[in-house]
Structure 1
């Protein structure tokens, strides 16, 4: 039977199933740890599974009932009973655990009214308020660990750590952070709040995925009783499918830490099960010396792009204003690259998705007319064709992909792509032989129907094998290297949340001067400041900014050589 799913439907379905599977995998993987470690944090598998089941159901309620197999049917009544039971349990706990707390506030852009009296405390907390002394405005604060920005690998419980790996605890610094803006697709609230933050001293602004009223109610329940939390759920209507962005804005007394990971707010993504790896960029930005707020027009493009993205997500003005208290001058050599969900027309489309990536490449002086080498590691693959791949390649060269002329040019360079671009995704054998095995590969997604399609770019796929033996990957890393027309080398890396798909980067409609974007995504472009003249060695080219996390093989990646990729839906979890 022919599939009735579109590319976006299939990608949403993959995500939803993957999250449900991953939740079960996490519970299985950590059960022994919880039995043997009295300090282990509480599990949330029952509640989390309910949220995931509901997410899967709501994302695909428009599909016909004939497409729902036994494994994909869900019990709404049971879901609601679980939700009511959780709420009742919280009420009982609050009745014997004074003092009473307020419900987390939910930011709904359709109904929200700006109440300065309510928002002032939060704004004061972000801005420093009475806590920030005048001395903080006069001198660069000590303790900036990442003043110029750095890329790290997430720590793994089963591997040796070094200076290029980092634990989430070392990022958050829970005894000193006073305000945390946290954005994620998946979240385990008990894990992140109970074990990684001191909720007595930290206020939270949570930007989370919730498309239906049931999902929103679930999140409200999860944060019910935490009066320091405000919730923001970016619009997810019509074609908009996913709040997939991962971002942390951590406010300390003297600086702002901007964190851009590929990891969700879950223990397995941050290495605590030792089965999955991710990557993270972070930079510490000092408070402005004069204590004033910067004007938007004078900010570096990194800050302007970040603020534009947050505004698009309906993040409240007080949060955005708080960011203006910090000095973004050290981001001038970087670019914040995002995808804002929805349709964007004419000049507006140049700031988001692939056109936004292309603009960032040009802004940093990394564009070239010459061929480039592109290596893209992703954990989820969309229904690709060479048109999409060509657009990614041209955007990475800094070329304008928004015109009809560019669309015609892009159609005729498949041979160039096959010679110069590689996509890294694990084979079935690599997953089977990994430390976590197939049971822990639920968020690594490629549909076999995509792979078998005549238009799918199978020739450019390479096996993702981690340099840390046995780890599976949730990374989204784009590595680009090449030369300018004068022979000078260029190289840069993208780290963030965007996978290899139209949903993540947008689909161009050149005749209408429009781009359609399904997801909210965020990432950072980091140049190699002095790349070697010889760019052949991928590891050596990027060693000054990151450790390439996958095995590159003999110069062109590890070819599949007849092996099939990992198709997660073929595994019986």
Structure 2
């Protein structure tokens, strides 16, 4: 098993002045070796690959890749690799198995081994995004050898390192990967530096494949569930909603479900992962009116106690357009399977995002220069599911952690007080 772990390198303390300082290369190496020793002691048969995101940003993605003789499974989730996350907390998980190709079979219409996206083909996007994430994290499969600390990861090296993916047919991917990697991205950038390749820009480019919805649906709400809330501003909320396809420029189309202080005190046992800083909430600019109390979906948790909190991260765009067909890409048009309206007032999801992204500029990126450039801090990963099938959308409704109707219909309450980080130290 290969285990990639990112550790935030703590600042060193100067023994004379007592001030914090950036650790030297030697000190950082000692810190990494110490963490590796702990991990190797716990997992003796595991290859440990440790890296740092630097002084800024957080390694927050949760991706599992499992290989068998006949297939590979890719799982994207909101759960960390801990017993508590998988047994005592509600999470979201997307997983799909991809079959092994027959010997010598082509990938994406090109002879096996002839290259990546340049060769074209339906599985290139999924593979490209997966390799971008692996490459940044310096993740390796045990049989490919260890990546030396400090070694450069060029596109050529990365392509060779992940050539084993060519053995599997990824063309049937039923979701689009949405990855965030630290750095700046520009709408005129090329390749991996393009705005459409990362964070909020990637989300916007992906959800466009969900189809062009009727003008009447342009203001349909965007529902968001997250366990951590960043320093939001009205502009950021408007940018986020706009990139999700909502036409409302005031950000009023966004509904964020997050537990209240009373809900946490009355029900929840594990609350350490719920984060909203009081100084953010108390800011005069913080967009309080987009928040709604937690509204758990009872249909998807028949065996889950009401005291267990949600660590899941979900974004969904609602529509009253019923869709048609058996679930492919866009809304389609014409014929017996053409989209048709649902009963009055009923809404299903046009698309759903699940993964590791919380609601923050660090996770999704912050748009600058009139939305032509984006700055991202964190390493995140999620998937977007799109469909035109009402039956599939109805399944989403029963399996989504939040009660869609409750979040959609709830009005902002002036007495809404969210659970805040300071509650951990008794500051209820």
The counterpart of 2:72, out of the listed 242, 250, 256, is 256
Query: C-alpha displacement at 1:61, in angstroms?
Result: 7.7
The counterpart of 1:422, out of the listed 227, 230, 255, is 255
Asked which structure has the greater RCO (Cα within 8 Å, sep 6+), the reply is: 2
Of 463-472 and 276-285, deviating more is 463-472
Matched with 1:553 is 406
Of 500-509 and 307-316, deviating more is 307-316
Whichever structure has more helix as a proportion of its residues is 1
Matched with 1:355 is 201
In the TM superposition, what whole-angstrom CA distance separates every residue of 1:276-308 from its partner, at most 9, and x where no partner exists? 211100001000123554642233422222222
Gaps of 5+ in 2: 106-111, 141-157, 322-330, 334-338, 342-348
Q: Is 1:463 matched up with 2:293?
A: yes
Work out the CA distance in 2 between the residues paired with 1:231 and 1:558: 48
Query: C-alpha displacement at 1:530, in angstroms?
Result: 1.1
SS in structure 2 opposite 1:375?
Answer: strand
In the TM superposition, what whole-angstrom CA distance separates every residue of 1:332-358 from its partner, at most 9, and x where no partner exists? x42100101122333222200111111
Q: Is 1:479 matched up with 2:321?
A: no
SS in structure 1 opposite 2:35?
Answer: helix
In the TM superposition, what whole-angstrom CA distance separates every residue of 1:490-517 from its partner, at most 9, and x where no partner exists? 7111010000000000112226943211
Matched with 1:413 is 249
Q: Is 1:432 matched up with 2:278?
A: no
The RMSD of aligned alpha carbons is 3.6
Against the structure 1 CA distance between its residues 554 and 513, is the aligned structure 2 distance closer, same or farther, given a 3 Å change threshold?
closer
Query: C-alpha displacement at 1:428, in angstroms?
Result: 0.6
8 Å Cα contact 2:230-2:359 kept in structure 1:
yes
8 Å Cα contact 1:354-1:391 kept in structure 2:
no
SS in structure 1 opposite 2:203?
Answer: helix
SS in structure 1 opposite 2:82?
Answer: coil
Against the structure 1 CA distance between its residues 455 and 285, is the aligned structure 2 distance closer, same or farther, given a 3 Å change threshold?
same
Work out the CA distance in 2 between the residues paired with 1:244 and 1:569: 22
The counterpart of 2:381, out of the listed 522, 531, 542, is 522
Matched with 1:568 is 421
8 Å Cα contact 1:361-1:367 kept in structure 2:
no
Work out the CA distance in 2 between the residues paired with 1:425 and 1:58: 31
Q: TM-score, normalised by structure 2?
A: 0.71
Work out the CA distance in 1 between the residues paired with 2:48 and 2:374: 29
SS in structure 2 opposite 1:285?
Answer: strand
Work out the CA distance in 1 between the residues paired with 2:407 and 2:370: 42
8 Å Cα contact 2:351-2:386 kept in structure 1:
yes
Q: Is 1:302 matched up with 2:126?
A: yes
Q: Is 1:322 matched up with 2:168?
A: no
Query: C-alpha displacement at 1:525, in angstroms?
Result: 0.3
Matched with 2:10 is 58
SS in structure 1 opposite 2:84?
Answer: coil
The counterpart of 2:275, out of the listed 416, 432, 445, is 445
Q: Structure 2 matches for 1:132-281, cutoff 5 A?
A: 212-213=28-29, 215-224=31-40, 228-238=45-55, 240-271=56-87, 274=88, 276-281=89-94
8 Å Cα contact 2:315-2:352 kept in structure 1:
yes
SS in structure 2 opposite 1:354?
Answer: helix
